[in-house]
Amino acid sequence: MIPFSASVDDILFSLRDVARADRLPDWDEGLASEIIGHFADFAEGVIAPINAAGDAEGCRLEDGRVKMPEGFADAFRQLADGGWQGLTAPEDFGGMGLSPVIASAVSEIFSGANHALQMVSSLVPAAVETLLRFGTEKQQQDWIPSLISGETLSTMCLTEPGAGSDLGRIRTTGRRDGDAWRLNGEKIFISGGDQDLSDNILHLVLARTGATEDGVKGLSLFLCDKNSAGDAIKITRIEEKLGLHASPTCQMAFDDTPAELIGVEGEGLKAMFTVMNHARIDVSLQGVAHAARASAIATAYAGERQQGRKPDGSPAMLSDHADVRRMLDEQRALALGSRAMCHVALVEMALGARPALVDFLTPVCKLFSSEAGIRAADLGIQVLGGYGYLTEYGLSQVWRDARITAIYEGANGIHALTTATRGLRFAGGAGADAFAALICELAGDETEVITLLSAWQDWRARLVAADDPSQEAHDFALLTANLFYRAAWCRIAAAAPEDAAVSTLKRHVLAAPQPVRL
């Protein structure tokens, strides 16, 4: 097993020189470097070493409660004691009050070191943001300090049997009980629906308070917690999965569960999107993390494994062979490029000047970065050959863990459809206009990218005029994502003009066919 090593230098380069985070009023380069480096040390020393063992052991359900793998509870306690759960939370509640851009770097490193543990821990910032935006003062005081301290972890309860991506089919109900509410129904695929890491679990539950025919307009968002609910929340099973074995994916039954309304009745989806949008960026970074990890493993192996001979007859390393170099280059390019795409979107989000652009970029980042992680892991397996197919070097786990990222938080086909419909039409196409402007900003006068942008604009016009854009959504989203990827690589190369390896990768990116298939 090749030990995990966080991509600290690459992350800082991307934030500083590609996304240009110094445009943010609260950006402190020294502080960012210190925090990211500190978490990298923690991830390499504490979180990463239990990743493979946790995957092998998995979670188990005993007497209706989930038992996490050995070492996970101790690792989480160290994580919480270090203040990492409250990185972006306001200082008034006990958090650090730091930039979400810094937190994104921490999230990427966390995912690369131990995706399963990150999954169970990662919804806390979104839960805090939801409470700050929609919760009452009492709800904020009751829950935010507990979430920050690690006493409480949180979940997002949307999916139901027969109501996956179609939230209008949700059947879990919320009914008034005096001044309170009661929830009844079933939720599936709930990450961390139960675990033995935290003393309590806060569930954010989307439930129907209106008529069935109201669709998503009849949905409201509720808070309920494990300790107060007792047996009114039951864990009926945990799923056996391809990957993320150490992250409990729970099926949950709510039986007259006491709950509190958060936000306005009937506007639950609006409140829930605070959680969902955070989760989609987080999933993008998970893809980046898997691409970086796969690249690191394959590069290390290929540089040490003697295989065949060079043209002059001297012994060759695996990395000396052209086809292997091709795969290593693609892995490296995907990791650097997808990270740059996410960082550009995150800095734009933090600046707040172009919200329509952020709305357009979010699904594009999610679909490209998730597929980049899968593709890089698959390439890594191929580079290592038979050893890649074994568990010994960890690439099989990287691929298995990465595979879900193209499915959860909105299947990539849905994000492709969003890009080709709402993304082009909302607010008169403001997001698409801003995207085109961004491509020009990133690419400068790079002919290949500007030519591709012109083709994209022509296709955009056809889709806006089309009665049914869905037929072309997949291919258009593929073009959109790869246009952004190529433009980001122009900025990467411009920021490192003396780096011959980067210049080579840029030429590879601009000349290669579309690298990611959605």
Catalytic residue among 260, 371, 409, 446: 409
447 vs 127, 433, 452, 515, CA distance in Å?
44, 20, 9, 19
The tokens for 378 are 């698959």
Residues 128/139, Cβ–Cβ less than 8 Å:
no
**Displacement of CA 253 from its chain's centroid (Å):** 27
Side chain identity, residue 28: D
CA proximity to 506, closest of 453, 441, 449, 451:
449
User: What is the rounded CA–CA span in Å between residue 418 and residue 273?
Assistant: 15
Tell me phi and psi for residue 255, to 5 degrees: -125, 95
User: What is the rounded CA–CA span in Å between residue 347 and residue 369?
Assistant: 17
Tell me phi and psi for residue 396, to 5 degrees: -65, -40
Distance between start and end Cα atoms, the chain: 30
Contacts (Cβ under 8 Å, ≥6 apart) of 264: 220
Tell me phi and psi for residue 392, to 5 degrees: -55, -40
Look-up of token digits 């992250």:
247
State whether residue 94 is helix, strand or coil.
coil
The tokens for 134 are 């929609």
User: What is the rounded CA–CA span in Å between residue 306 and residue 323?
Assistant: 15
Q: Tally the C-alpha atoms within 13 A of residue 379's C-alpha that lie toward its C-beta.
A: 32
Neighbours of 383 (CB within 10 A): 28
User: What is the rounded CA–CA span in Å between residue 326 and residue 331?
Assistant: 9
> Could you confirm whether 446 is annotated as catalytic?
no
**Beta partners for residue 219, in sequence order:** 208
State the catalytic residues: 409
